[in-house]
Amino acid sequence: MTEAGWATGTAHAAGGSRNYKLWVPATLEEKPSPLLMMLHGCTHDAEVTAEISGMNGVAEENGFLVVYPEQNRLANLMKCWNWFAEKNQTRDAGEPSILAAVINKVRSTYNVDADRIYVAGVSAGGAMASILGATYPDLFAAISVFAGAEFKAATSVSTGLATMKHGGPDPVRQGQLAFDAMHGGLTQTKRRCMPVIVFHGTADTTVNPVNADQVIAQWGKTNACLAMRSADGEFALRETVIGGQVPEGYGFRKYVYSDPAGRLLMEKWLVQGLGHAWSGSPKASKHGDPKGPNASAEIWRFFCEAGSLQASLPPSPLDQESRAKMK
């Protein structure tokens, strides 16, 4: 029987190596388990991220593994994931290759459900989650971007800072670039969409909330490209807006985006009055705010709901053609 609690490890890849900590819930079952990768923000580590987000508690309630890779100060003095560097925006290179290696290292040791592997990141980790969704669609079934940025939103430190303050490039163009970046992974998988959930505080002065809009627009374009790759016809998302209020806390607006068949594909949560902090944190701190909706619970709920979308999709003409060529 797997021992519950924290486990540690190191993963090696073309881009280098990183340490990680893995949370193994006491509720883990013997059958294949989902795996969530949590990418911390600048200055943080695994245990701080776990404390701020409360994700380990969600894992205990739902029986899934949570792996927390840790950035090396030799790679970034502030321990930020280097999402703004071009060398870290492609498959099989840089930090994406290391983070993929972390997933594969966990899979080599634990009984992981390969169809239920997800990544969520906050701030610099959120921007890196966008990159992983594009570069490793064969690994990740869905992504979450919390106070992050669209795919390839910057290509240098200076443009990274500009993105944080004012937003990144045209998200439609970036959406096409993300689709192009998926090519290597799509040769390994039949994935036909990338579900995305976004969280952002309207009072965030570190990362401008316009980035939340751009992440949704970028992945909307990328998902349109994925849909058109596998089937004929128009692709248009339907938006539903739901308002809400946390008792004695913040109000929020939840934007739900459904595909043409009515299946959940993306969500955007804008939390009124939330700064650059995790929404619904178990306790108040500089980087965690209990007054917002419980982001960790909502992210996991979304992953479970949107994950069923893949199984419900009919075989695509491209899949059928590929199978025919193999005969």
For residue 36, the model assigns a pLDDT of 98
- Tens digit of pLDDT for each residue in 84-100? 999 999 999 999 999 99
The per-residue pLDDT for 59 is 98
For the cut 50, the answer to whether the pLDDT of residue 321 exceeds it is no
pLDDT tens digits, one per residue of 290-301 = 999 999 999 999
The three-state DSSP-derived secondary structure of the chain is CCCCEEEEEEEEECCEEEEEEEEECCCCCCCCEEEEEEECCCCCCHHHHHHHHCHHHHHHHHCCEEEEECCCCCCCCCCCCCCCCHHHCCCCCHHHHHHHHHHHHHHHHCCEEEEEEEEEEECHHHHHHHHHHHHCCCCCCEEEEECCCCCCCCCCHHHHHHHHHHCCCCHHHHHHHHHHHCHHHHCCCCCCCCCEEEEEECCCCCCCCHHHHHHHHHHHHHHHHHHHHHCCCCCCCEEEEEEEECCCCCEEEEEEEECCCCCEEEEEEEECCCCCCEECCCCCECCEECCCCCHHHHHHHHHHHHHHHHHHCCCCHHHHHHHHHHC
Q: What is the pLDDT of residue 89?
A: 98
| Tens digits of residue pLDDT in 242-278 | 999 999 999 999 999 999 889 999 999 999 999 999 9
Q: Which structure tokens are listed for 243? A: 């308002």
User: Which residues, in sequence order, are CB contacts of 213 under 8 Å at separation 6+?
Assistant: 167, 171, 268
The CATH number of whichever domain residue 95 belongs to comes to 3.40.50.1820
Lowest mean pLDDT of 144-153, 194-203, 310-319, name the range.
310-319
Average pLDDT over residues 290-317: 81
What's the number of domains the chain is made of? 1
pLDDT score recorded for residue 319: 45
pLDDT value, residue 17: 97
Contact 71, 94 (CB under 8 A): no
Among 26-30, 49-53, 198-202, 310-314, the range scoring the smallest mean pLDDT is: 310-314
Looking at the predicted structure, is the pLDDT value of residue 221 above 50? yes
Structure confidence at residue 268 (pLDDT): 98
Q: How confident is the model at residue 3 (pLDDT cuts 50, 70, 90)?
A: confident
pLDDT digits (tens, 9 = 90+) for 138-174: 999 999 999 999 999 999 999 999 999 999 999 999 9
The yes-or-no verdict on residue 227 having pLDDT over 80 is yes
- Whether the CB-CB separation of 232 and 239 falls below 8 Å is answered with no
- In this structure, of 9-18, 38-47, 304-313, the range with the lowest mean pLDDT score is 304-313
Q: What mean pLDDT is reported for the chain?
A: 92
For residue 83, pLDDT beyond 70: yes
Position 302 pLDDT exceeds 50: yes
Residue 313 has pLDDT above 70, yes or no: no
Q: What percentage of the chain carries pLDDT values higher than 90?
A: 86
pLDDT reading at 228 higher than 90:
no
What pLDDT sits at residue 318? 44
Q: The domain containing residue 129 runs over which residues?
A: 5-326
